[in-house]
Amino acid sequence: MKKILSGIQPSGQLHIGNYFGMMLPMIQSMDEGELYAFIVDLHAMTSVHDGEKLAKGTLNAAMDFMALGLDPERSTFWVQSDVPEVTELAWILSTLTPMGLLERCHSYKDKVAKGVAPSHGLFAYPVLMAADILLYQADLVPVGKDQKQHLEVARDIAIKFNNQFGEIFTVPESVIDDNMATVPGIDGMKMSKSYGNTIDIFQDEKSLKKSVMAIKTDSTPVEDPKNPDTCNLFNIYKLFASPERVAEVRDLYVKGGAAYGRIKLELVDILWDYFAVARTKRSELEQDQEYVRDVLRKGADKARRKACVTLDLVRERVGLRY
């Protein structure tokens, strides 16, 4: 059975980009393999330097994930920092990771350009991500298109380590749905908490409407033809509307008659209904947070049992056993 692994950062409210890029593929994978899903709080520390905010965000992310359909009984679900073996493995891997490999990663440069403070943690992010993946011998890693390069770094590190010390690590493969690889934000750029251009999953109806109505569109008159494929609004709309309705709206774009305002209001209703069941479940979990903490503790215990098997072998091979 294939091992499927991916994580989500608790650095802010989870949004529809997180949902389609990682969460939904992971939830759908529960019947397809041995699923490992975790909250990557150590990664979040590259941008969150408020302890109370990080702790709250971690618990919220866990509740969000469970509300959206992740079943702890059919997966291993935990918080990254509750398995300390990952930081030891990250250090060991860092001693073999070429500087040039990290210097070529575009994510670091992009984040610094967007105002994220440069740090060693941000620069070495791909090594910790590699440790996350390799520690559990993951076969498949569902990622957004923007994380594909980091997955390739993990593969390179695994191959280099295996060549140096003998076959230990499974070389992982990325899983990317090209139709949903990059969800656009309300400004047309990739949807990201870092860019402040998100549509959050569990916001109230008033806030949801405000977010949707802020989606950037052009000034083309209603009656004029428009290109749906380059329209930010349509590219978000088609993720949620029925195929039949998407075809109808696409026809309005092509032939003329697509009114951005009406489409936005329709999208608000569609989004509100789409996550209705999850909102109810989320409210129930909010009322029983100790249950959520217990789920995460049990998940961490389960994850550590897997992690220790790999790390013990790594320690022996690199000479940390004498």
Task: Name the band, by pLDDT with cuts 50, 70 and 90, for residue 239.
Answer: very high
Portion of the chain with pLDDT greater than 90, in percent? 80
The pLDDT, as a whole number, for residue 322 is 87
The pLDDT, as a whole number, for residue 178 is 67
Q: Is residue 318's pLDDT more than 60?
A: yes
Residues of the chain with CATH 3.40.50.620: 3-182+289-318
Report the 10 Å Cβ neighbour count for 31: 8
Portion of the chain with pLDDT greater than 70, in percent? 98
The pLDDT, as a whole number, for residue 287 is 97
Residues of the chain with CATH 1.10.240.10: 203-274
The pLDDT, as a whole number, for residue 208 is 97
The pLDDT, as a whole number, for residue 93 is 98
What is the rounded average pLDDT of the residues 19-43?
Answer: 91
Identify which has the larger pLDDT, 1 or 281.
281
Q: What is the C-alpha to C-alpha distance for residues 133 and 141, in angstroms, rounded to an integer?
A: 8
The pLDDT, as a whole number, for residue 174 is 87
Task: Name the band, by pLDDT with cuts 50, 70 and 90, for residue 25.
Answer: confident
The pLDDT, as a whole number, for residue 179 is 59
The pLDDT, as a whole number, for residue 180 is 56
- Overall CATH class of domain 203-274: mainly alpha
> Would you please indicate which residues are annotated as catalytic (active-site) residues?
111, 190, 193
Task: Name the band, by pLDDT with cuts 50, 70 and 90, for residue 108.
Answer: confident
122-148 pLDDT, tens per residue?
A: 999 999 999 999 999 999 998 767 778
- Overall CATH class of domain 3-182+289-318: alpha beta
Q: What is the C-alpha to C-alpha distance for residues 245 and 258, in angstroms, rounded to an integer?
A: 13
Q: Model-level pTM?
A: 0.90
What is the rounded average pLDDT of the residues 28-57?
Answer: 94
The mean predicted confidence, pLDDT, of the chain is: 93
Q: Is residue 248's pLDDT more than 80?
A: yes
- Residue 112 buriedness (CB in 10 A; 0-12 / 13-18 / 19+): middle
Q: Specify whether the CB–CB gap between 168 and 206 falls below 8 A.
A: no
The pLDDT, as a whole number, for residue 214 is 96
